[in-house]
Amino acid sequence: MTEKKMEVMLSAGEIDKRIRELAAEISRDYEGKSLFLVGVLKGAVVFLSDLIRYITVPLEIDFIAVSSYGSDTTSSGIVRIQKDLEQSLKGKDVLIVEDIVDTGLTLNYLYRNIQSRQPDSLKVVTLLDKPDRRKVDFNPDYCGFAIPDRFVIGYGLDYDENYRQLADICVLNSTD
């Protein structure tokens, strides 16, 4: 394996501050309602765990796993459901929780798939967005940070299933 060097892009403190703001905005928007959060495995697990502790409206969570990437860092464009939700979404106020929107292919597919399950409303929150990489038109309703076109790891995000446990979001650079 080529040696990699890490550089912090967003610190744990900056992430926490922004998540509190997002949670406050979401709590305001859904006041008087209850939320059904759909976490996208595995990358969004850390974000979802922190986000729900700052949301003040009642909520339920469930998880879906999709694959669009192999162990590569470029999108194949193929999206498949690997693990489906356990509960019906009919009549619920659903918020998809994603780690990062890159080409937009994953969320474009997921949004349509979940919309077809007849929720009362459907929105998307992503921690990170790389707008420069978009291949399909997709705009998240809530976004933590727009970032440049760099491959990032940490805070749930992986490179070949590693580095998810880092508290900061880092850029991974090859040293050669």
Q: Return the one option of Mg ion, ligand IMP, none that residue 102 interacts with (CB less than 5 to 8 A, by type).
A: ligand IMP
**How far is 45 from 19, CA to CA, in rounded Å?**
14
Q: How many CA atoms lie within 13 A of 20 on its CB side?
A: 5
**How far is 102 from 74, CA to CA, in rounded Å?**
10
Residues 32-51 that bind Mg ion (CB under 5 A): 43
Spatial CB neighbours of 1, under 8 Å, sequence gap ≥ 6: none
How far is CA 2 from each of CA 46, 72, 171, 172, 176, rounded to the nearest angstrom? 27, 14, 15, 11, 8
Residues 89-108 that bind ligand IMP (CB under 6 A): 98-106
> What secondary structure does DSSP assign to 103-142, as a single string?
SSHHHHHHHHHHHTT--SEEEEEEEEE-GGG-SS----SE
Q: Pattern of binders to ligand IMP over 145-164, x per CB under 6 A?
A: ------xxx---x-------
Nearest approach in angstroms of CB 105 to ligand IMP is 4
> Looking at this protein, which amino acid is placed at residue 148?
P
Q: Tell me whether residue 31 or residue 72 sits nearer to ligand IMP (CB atom).
A: 72
Only segment of 20-28, 98-106, 146-154, 159-167 that touches Mg ion (CB under 5 A): 98-106
Q: Tell me whether residue 43 or residue 144 sits nearer to Mg ion (CB atom).
A: 43
Active-site hit among 50, 93, 99, 102: 102
Task: Give the binding-site size for ligand IMP (rule: CB under 6 A).
Answer: 17
Answer yes or no whether residue 69 interacts with ligand IMP by CB under 6 A: yes
Tell me if residue 102 is catalytic: yes
**How far is 164 from 49, CA to CA, in rounded Å?**
14
Nearest approach in angstroms of CB 142 to ligand IMP is 16
SS3 152: strand
Which residues are the active-site residues?
102
- Contact residues toward ligand IMP (CB under 6 A) are 43, 68-69, 75, 98-106, 151-153, 157
Binding residues for Mg ion (CB under 5 A): 43, 99
